[in-house]
């Protein structure tokens, strides 16, 4: 064999190669070990112990080990929650702490997990298998677990676990009342009482002064202006703050302050976020209404307003803020004064006749008449004519000994 | 080791062109078997039997090409299991990546290796290009038939392929990061006057990034681009052999004093025992003089092993330590704020911003300058540079030689500028593309609940 000079670095090369080899083995052991590290291993071990203590070792042996999931193709969900929450369908652990607690039976009967999964109601990230990621407390997951901790973080009034009702209402949105969803029910009553539809379209019905709210729950958090919001910058927090004082969130809004309580504002914010498109087919909604029909009385009342003597005020949009009691028009919001007496009222309030006021409005009306309700000079003449008719009717009723304004105010308080 | 049937047909052993054993042999019984073994072994075939010692130095090449090759190998290797698990459909891509992340055994690690490996490969390729430029390694020496400038051109093409490979892989997880990075990237490309919008349409298979884009990028990513890159790698390697090894070795071939090399044979090969024997002592002026060269096996192969295994170890450790991000599912209606191109295109996005000028309502869009003219010019210059570089052949294979000082400084300055723009784009551009210092916190990103 011929001789050649060896590499100038052989002495160091061999130990370097050996060290690299050891590092590589170490790296392999490290990732293989990391792959085995999961919270569920401990929870499964604990639950098995609990079952063995309570029901005997034989029952404990029937508990499946390893990753578990509920696969719901129709909802495109693979919920791995049951990997840790193994007690869900085991009787006898109703008072145990999570994740070893039995799920309330009644709800499971109407919403079997094999059909609905877990995250469709509870929120959270069904794909994940570790606590933080599964409960959605990680970056880039916008559906956190709608449980008590989150409710406490938002200081929900009364029921801290109520946030989950938002997910009930994704399917049950057209019900007037849903069993068990007290906050959502409260919000739905408020929507009727306060007459939100005067300005907002909800389920294809309503006025167009405010934005359409039908799918407001799908509005992305990035699309909210959070600059005036103090504290948590979330869509939910924005809605709560906005319901309590609309002007504070949107300076030039015409939405009135309804002086809602904190609970009412929270309930309405939940209702807003629940109005989302359901990403599954109608087969999941047996027995749940799929449209939002009006009752016969509601239709009658609306028809009366639209075709009665005050129809012009309804069509023009004045009724959103003003009742015209003499003509049986009742405003849902009742922000402005009753227009039955506008003819003499403008004299008292502004010192001008109603003609002059409509042509040169001041205050709030100058904003409304230049932006929300823009009238041509001819239409203004019609308005003056109609207001005179309303005043004449008012005087006739007063002469008969009735007080139309008081009756309308009572109606509004109902 | 022999198969039983070969013993029966003993004549086959001696038949010409027949290698009766199932594997090549470390212990050849004849010169013929030894020769067969050399020819049929990839590594022995790949490397010369002797290599010029200084070519192996860490501080000459930093082995960046080998690192790049190791990363490419690792990417192909980790890409194979990913192909079994990933579903290239708009409906299922995102959830298949979620499954990889959470429930597939070692899935998160394979994905992280693929991701980290891809990022490192872009870095390694660029560093390799910079090393070759600084050492003038695209220059021909005195050897006959050297075509180093063409290997440089192949290298530039491979750089572009690497970038495009990474870019096509960016879209596949189908999350917000993927969707908007590709949106920004393809929008920059559409600034080419005239054909730009059509080019974008061809690239993404329509006017919106949709299923057609996903399947296009997927097929490019797993077959077309790696295939093209693999073929070019082979050619790149072959050309290095034909050009006489690294440019560093050319220095040894320059006319020099004849030296007494002692009583050792020259011009004989002793790889796996081929052509044993001795010859009279000679004086040598050949670049293959024994005192200047070492045997490729084991001196070169050991170093190559150190580099390759070291790269694997580094990638594996980084993959275990750095979680791969996966943002919200892609949503064409919601633009994340800020929306950024992949990091290696961020210097272009930054230049596009800086060259966009507004006069009142009139806007001069910088996409044409920053997105088309500038990168086009840089790539064109890179490609033809070996023909523009008039420095002497002796400047090849040296770091920062005096005769190439000016061009090296300009190149260095350009690299630093690109790095600076990338840094600004990566760390200093916050919501609404506003400038923030790296230590300033950006306004919080709003959540749903």
User: Is B305's pLDDT higher than 90?
Assistant: yes
Helix (H) or strand (E) holding B303: helix B301-321
Are A236 and A175 part of one and the same domain? yes
A272 located within any domain: yes
Closest chain A C-alpha to B218 CA, distance in angstroms = 23
Beta bridge mates, A246: none
Domain extent for A203: 162-284
Residues of chain A in contact with residue B302, where contact means CB-CB under 8 angstroms, are 7, 10, 13-14, 17
pLDDT digits (tens, 9 = 90+) for B157-214: 999 999 999 999 999 999 999 999 899 888 888 888 888 889 999 999 999 999 999 9
Query: Do the Cβ atoms of A163 and B449 come closer than 8 Å?
Result: yes
Domain termination site, one of A114, A144, A174: A144
B417 located within any domain: no
Are A280 and A304 part of one and the same domain? no
**Complete DSSP assignment for B364-432:** E-THHIIIIIHHHHHHHHHHHHHHH----GGGTTSSS-GGGHHHHHHHHHHHHHHHHHHHHHHHSB-GG
Q: Which of A5, A23, A30 sits opposite B320 (nearest CB)?
A: A30
Q: Which of B99, B106, B313 sits opposite A35 (nearest CB)?
A: B106
Nearest CA to A358 among A345, A349, A346?
A346
User: Is A7's pLDDT higher than 70?
Assistant: no
Q: Which of B98, B176, B310 sits opposite A20 (nearest CB)?
A: B310
Does B447 contact A76 at a Cβ distance shorter than 8 Å?
no
Query: Do the Cβ atoms of A342 and A333 come closer than 8 Å?
Result: no
Are A212 and A131 part of one and the same domain? no
Nearest CA to B159 among B120, B203, B126?
B126
Q: What is the pLDDT of residue B290?
A: 65
Phi, psi of A127 (to 5 degrees): -65, -35
Are A167 and A280 part of one and the same domain? yes
Closest chain B C-alpha to A23 CA, distance in angstroms = 7
B318 located within any domain: yes
DSSP state of B221: I
For B107, the closest chain A residue by CA position comes to A35
A351 located within any domain: yes
Are A279 and A171 part of one and the same domain? yes
| CB burial of residue B425 (10 Å; 0-12, 13-18, 19+) | buried
Name the average pLDDT for chain A: 88
Q: Look at chain B and report how many structural domains it folds into.
A: 1
**Count of positions (residues) in chain A:** 414
Q: What is the pLDDT of residue A2?
A: 44
Closest chain B C-alpha to A70 CA, distance in angstroms = 14
Does B309 contact A21 at a Cβ distance shorter than 8 Å?
yes
Does A35 contact B268 at a Cβ distance shorter than 8 Å?
no
A53 located within any domain: yes
Structure confidence at residue B272 as a pLDDT band (50, 70, 90): low
- Structural Rg of chain A based on CA atoms: 32
For A124, the closest chain B residue by CA position comes to B449
B42 located within any domain: no
Query: Do the Cβ atoms of B393 and B140 come closer than 8 Å?
Result: yes
Q: How far apart are CA B393 and CA B136, in angstroms?
A: 9
Beta bridge mates, B358: B363
Question: Helix, strand, coil shares of chain B as percentages rounded to 5?
Answer: 60, 5, 35
Mean pLDDT, residues A304-313: 85
Structure confidence at residue B449 as a pLDDT band (50, 70, 90): confident
A17 located within any domain: no
User: Is B25's pLDDT higher than 80?
Assistant: no
Query: Any residues with CB less than 8 A from the CB of B338 and at least 6 apart, and which?
Result: B429, B430, B431, B432, B433
Domain termination site, one of A228, A260, A284: A284
More confident residue, B123 or A411: B123
Are A279 and A311 part of one and the same domain? no
Does B313 contact A27 at a Cβ distance shorter than 8 Å?
yes
User: Is B278's pLDDT higher than 60?
Assistant: no
Phi, psi of A104 (to 5 degrees): -50, 130
Does A150 contact B449 at a Cβ distance shorter than 8 Å?
yes
For chain A, what is the largest distance between any 2 Cα atoms, rounded to a whole number of angstroms? Answer: 133
Does B337 contact A127 at a Cβ distance shorter than 8 Å?
no
B434 located within any domain: no
Q: How many CB pairs under 8 A join A and B?
A: 145
More confident residue, A204 or B415: B415
Residues of chain B in contact with residue A18, where contact means CB-CB under 8 angstroms, are none
Whether residue B298 is preceded by a cis peptide bond, meaning omega within 30 degrees of 0, is yes
Helix (H) or strand (E) holding A381: helix A377-399
Token code pair at residue B383: 């490609």
A3 located within any domain: no
Q: Look at chain A and report how many structural domains it folds into.
A: 3
Token code pair at residue B53: 């010692």
Q: Which of B109, B290, B316 sits opposite A5 (nearest CB)?
A: B290
Domain of residue B97, CATH code: 1.20.810.10
B75 located within any domain: yes
Query: Do the Cβ atoms of B36 and B45 come closer than 8 Å?
Result: no
A114 located within any domain: yes
pLDDT digits (tens, 9 = 90+) for A252-285: 888 889 999 999 999 999 999 999 987 677 777 7
Does A2 contact B270 at a Cβ distance shorter than 8 Å?
yes
Domain termination site, one of A112, A144, A176: A144
Are A133 and A204 part of one and the same domain? no
**CA separation, residue B55 to residues B52, B138, B245, B248 (Å):** 6, 15, 8, 6
Q: What is the pLDDT of residue B257?
A: 59
Q: Which of B278, B328, B449 sits opposite A140 (nearest CB)?
A: B328
- What is the interface pTM, i.e. ipTM, of the complex? 0.83
More confident residue, B410 or A291: B410
Does A27 contact B303 at a Cβ distance shorter than 8 Å?
no
**CA separation, residue A353 to residues A326, A356, A390, B157, B241 (Å):** 20, 5, 15, 83, 101
Q: How far apart are CA A122 and CA A168, in angstroms?
A: 9
Domain of residue A188, CATH code: 1.10.760.10
A16 located within any domain: no
B388 located within any domain: no
Domain extent for B183: 50-251+297-342
Closest chain A C-alpha to B121 CA, distance in angstroms = 19
Q: Which of A10, A78, A220 sits opposite B299 (nearest CB)?
A: A10
B263 located within any domain: no
Does B102 contact A13 at a Cβ distance shorter than 8 Å?
no
Beta bridge mates, A234: B447
Q: What is the pLDDT of residue B160?
A: 97
List the single best residue of B180, B276, B330, B448 to mutate versus A (max A Cβ within 10 A): B448
Listed in sequence order, the DSSP H helices in A131-234 are 131-134, 148-153, 165-171, 182-194
Which 3 state secondary structure label does DSSP give A145?
strand
**What pTM was estimated for this model as a whole?**
0.84
Are A207 and A109 part of one and the same domain? no
Are A92 and A170 part of one and the same domain? no
Are A265 and A303 part of one and the same domain? no
**Count of positions (residues) in chain B:** 449
Name the average pLDDT for chain B: 86
Token code pair at residue A284: 């999941």
Does B317 contact A133 at a Cβ distance shorter than 8 Å?
no
A8 located within any domain: no
Nearest CA to B56 among B395, B392, B297, B311?
B297
Q: How far apart are CA B155 and CA B125, in angstroms?
A: 9
Closest chain A C-alpha to B60 CA, distance in angstroms = 14
Q: Which of A2, A221, A226 sits opposite B265 (nearest CB)?
A: A2
B70 located within any domain: yes
Give the lowest-confidence range in A146-150, B85-89, B103-107, B445-449.
B445-449
Q: How far apart are CA A354 and CA A384, in angstroms?
A: 7
């Amino acid at each position: 064999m011929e001789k050649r000079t060896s590499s100038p670095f052989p002495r160091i090369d061999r130990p370097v190669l050996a060290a690299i080899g050891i590092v590589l083995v170490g790296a392999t052991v490290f990732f293989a070990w990391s792959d085995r590290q999961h919270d569920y291993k401990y929870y499964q071990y604990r639950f098995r112990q609990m079952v063995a203590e309570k029901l005997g070792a034989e029952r404990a042996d029937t508990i499946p080990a390893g990753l578990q999931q509920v696969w719901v193709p129709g909802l495109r969900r693979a919920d791995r929650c049951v990997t840790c929450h193994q007690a869900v369908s085991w009787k006898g652990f109703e008072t145990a702490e999570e994740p070893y607690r039995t799920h309330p039976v009644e709800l499971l009967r109407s919403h079997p997990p094999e059909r609905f999964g877990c995250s469709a109601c509870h929120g959270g990230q069904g794909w994940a298998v570790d606590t933080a990621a599964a409960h959605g407390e990680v970056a880039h997951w916008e559906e956190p677990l709608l449980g008590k901790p989150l409710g406490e973080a938002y200081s929900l009034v009364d029921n801290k676990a109520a946030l989950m009702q938002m997910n009930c209402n994704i399917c049950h949105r057209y019900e007037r009342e849903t069993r068990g969803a007290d906050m959502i029910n409260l919000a739905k009553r408020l929507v009727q009482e306060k007459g939100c539809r005067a300005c907002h379209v909800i389920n294809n019905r309503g006025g167009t002064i405010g934005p359409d709210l039908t799918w407001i729950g799908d509005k992305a958090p990035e699309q909210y202006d959070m600059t005036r919001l103090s504290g948590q910058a979330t869509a939910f927090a924005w809605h709560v703050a906005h319901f309590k004082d609309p002007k504070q969130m949107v300076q030039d809004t015409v939405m009135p302050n309804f002086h809602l309580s904190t609970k009412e504002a929270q309930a309405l914010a939940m209702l807003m976020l629940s109005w989302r498109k359901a990403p599954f087919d109608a087969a999941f909604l047996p027995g749940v209404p799929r449209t939002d029909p009006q009752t016969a009385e509601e239709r009658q009342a609306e028809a009366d307003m639209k075709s009665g003597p005050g129809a012009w005020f309804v069509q023009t949009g004045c009724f959103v803020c003003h009742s015209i009691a003499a003509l049986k028009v009742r405003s849902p919001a009742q922000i402005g004064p009753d227009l039955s007496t506008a003819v003499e009222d403008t004299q008292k309030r502004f010192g001008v006749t109603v003609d002059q006021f409509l042509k040169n409005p001041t205050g709030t009306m100058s904003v409304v008449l230049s932006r929300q309700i823009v009238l041509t000079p001819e239409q203004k003449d019609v308005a003056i004519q109609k207001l005179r008719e309303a005043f004449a009717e008012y005087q006739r009723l007063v002469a008969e000994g009735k007080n139309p304004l008081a009756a309308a105010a009572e109606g509004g308080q109902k | 080791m022999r198969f039983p049937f070969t013993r029966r047909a003993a004549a086959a052993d001696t038949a010409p062109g027949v290698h009766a054993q199932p594997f090549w042999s470390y212990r050849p019984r004849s010169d013929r078997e030894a020769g067969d073994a050399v020819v049929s072994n990839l590594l022995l075939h790949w490397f010369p039997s002797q290599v010029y010692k200084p070519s192996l130095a860490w501080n000459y090449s930093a082995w960046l090409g080998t690192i790049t090759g190791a990363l490419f190998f690792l990417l192909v290797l980790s890409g194979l299991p990913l192909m079994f698990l990933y579903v290239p459909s708009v409906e299922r891509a995102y959830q298949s990546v979620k499954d990889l992340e959470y429930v597939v055994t070692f899935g998160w690690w394979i994905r992280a290796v693929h991701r980290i490996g891809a990022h490192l490969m872009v870095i390694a390729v660029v560093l390799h290009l910079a090393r070759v430029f600084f050492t003038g390694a695209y220059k021909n020496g005195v050897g006959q038939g050297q075509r180093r400038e063409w290997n440089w051109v192949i290298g530039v093409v491979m750089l572009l392929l690497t970038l495009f490979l990474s870019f096509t892989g960016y879209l596949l997880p189908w999350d917000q990061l993927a969707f908007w990075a590709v949106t920004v990237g393809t929008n920059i490309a559409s600034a080419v006057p005239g054909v730009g919008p059509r080019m974008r349409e061809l690239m993404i298979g329509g006017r919106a990034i949709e299923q057609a884009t996903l399947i296009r990028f997927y097929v490019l990513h797993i077959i077309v681009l790696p295939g093209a890159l693999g073929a070019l790698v082979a050619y790149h390697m072959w050309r290095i052999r034909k050009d006489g090894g690294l440019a560093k070795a050319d220095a040894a071939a320059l006319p020099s004093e004849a030296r007494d090399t002692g009583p050792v044979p020259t011009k004989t090969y002793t790889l796996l025992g081929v052509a044993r024997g001795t010859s009279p002592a000679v004086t040598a002026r050949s670049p293959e003089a024994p005192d200047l060269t070492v045997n490729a096996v084991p001196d070169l192969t050991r170093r190559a092993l150190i580099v390759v295994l070291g790269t694997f170890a580094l990638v594996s450790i980084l993959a275990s330590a750095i979680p791969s991000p996966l943002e919200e599912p892609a949503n064409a209606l919601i633009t994340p704020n800020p929306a950024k191109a992949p990091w290696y295109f961020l210097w272009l996005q930054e230049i596009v911003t800086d060259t966009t000028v507004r006069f009142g309502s009139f806007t001069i869009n910088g996409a044409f300058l920053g997105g088309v003219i500038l990168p086009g010019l840089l790539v064109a210059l890179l490609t033809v540079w070996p023909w523009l570089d008039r420095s002497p052949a002796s400047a090849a294979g040296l770091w920062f030689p005096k005769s190439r000082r000016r061009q090296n400084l300009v190149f260095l300055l350009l690299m630093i500028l690109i790095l600076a723009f990338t840094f600004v784009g990566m760390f200093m551009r916050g919501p609404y593309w506003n400038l923030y210092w790296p230590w300033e916190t950006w306004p919080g990103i709003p959540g749903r609940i």
